[in-house]
Structure 1
C-alpha cells in the first residue's frame, strides 16, 4: 500500500509541476509557448541514470565511472533546464513572471523525478525495474 501512496503523490507532484509550466506559457499576460521546450529536458533527465543502472552490475560500489558519467550528464541536463527560461527572459522572449512560473515548475518536476528514483530505485518487491 505504501507503493500506491507514493505513486499517487508522485503523480500529483508531476501534475502540479506541469501546471506551473502551462501557466507560464498560457496565461493571457504572457501568451508565449517557448518554455514548452523544457518538456524535452524532463524526458531526457532520467535517461542517463536509467541506462547506467542497466549497464552496471554492482551499484553499491563507492565509485563507478559509468555511474559518475550518468550523474554528470543528468546534472548538465537539469542545469540546462534551469538556464533556458532565464536566457529566454533575458532575451525578452518571455516575461520574467513567466520565467518565475517555469522555474517553479522545474523545481517541482525535478523533485518529482528525484522522488521517483528514491522511492522506486531500491530492489524490493515493488520496483520500477520490473517495468
Structure 2
C-alpha cells in the first residue's frame, strides 16, 4: 500500500510541475512556447543513471567510476534544464515571469524524478526494476 501512495504523490508532483511549465508557455501575457524545450531534459535526465544501474552489478560499493560518471552527466542535464530558460529570458525570447514559472516547474519535476528513484530505487518489495 505504501507503493501506491508514493506513486500517487509522485504523479501529483509531476502534474504540478507540468502545470507550471504550461503556465509559463500559455498564459496570454507570455504566449510563447520556447520553454517546452526543457521537456527533452526531463526525458534525458534519468537515462545515464538507469544505464549505470544496469551495467554495474556491485551497487553497494561506496565509489564506482561508472556510477559517478552517470551522476555527473545527470547533473549536467539538470543544470542545462535550469540554464535554458534563463538564456531564453536574457535573449528576450521569453518574459522573465515565464522564466520564473518554468524554473519553478523544473524544481518540482526534478524533485519528483529524485523522489521516484529514492522510493522505487531500492531492491525492496516494490521496485521500479520489476516494471
* Counterpart in the other structure of 2:42: 42
Q: CA deviation at 1:72?
A: 0.2
Unaligned runs of 5+ in 2: none
* Counterpart in the other structure of 2:5: 5
1:80 matched to 2:80: yes
Q: CA deviation at 1:125?
A: 1.5
Unaligned runs of 5+ in 1: none
* Counterpart in the other structure of 1:130: 130
What are the residue-to-residue correspondences of 1:17-28 with 2, within 5 Å?
A: 17-28=17-28
Q: Whole-Å Cα distance in 2 between the matches of residues 32 and 129 of structure 1?
A: 38
Q: Whole-Å Cα distance in 2 between the matches of residues 114 and 56 of structure 1?
A: 20
* Counterpart in the other structure of 2:30: 30
4+ long deviations beyond 4 Å: none
Q: Secondary structure at the match of 2:62?
A: coil
Q: Secondary structure at the match of 1:40?
A: helix
CA RMSD of aligned residues (A): 0.3
Q: Secondary structure at the match of 2:58?
A: coil
Q: Whole-Å Cα distance in 1 between the matches of residues 52 and 2 of structure 2?
A: 27
Q: Give the TM-score, by structure 2 length.
A: 0.99
* Counterpart in the other structure of 1:71: 71
Q: Whole-Å Cα distance in 1 between the matches of residues 68 and 24 of structure 2?
A: 34
Q: Whole-Å Cα distance in 2 between the matches of residues 59 and 74 of structure 1?
A: 18
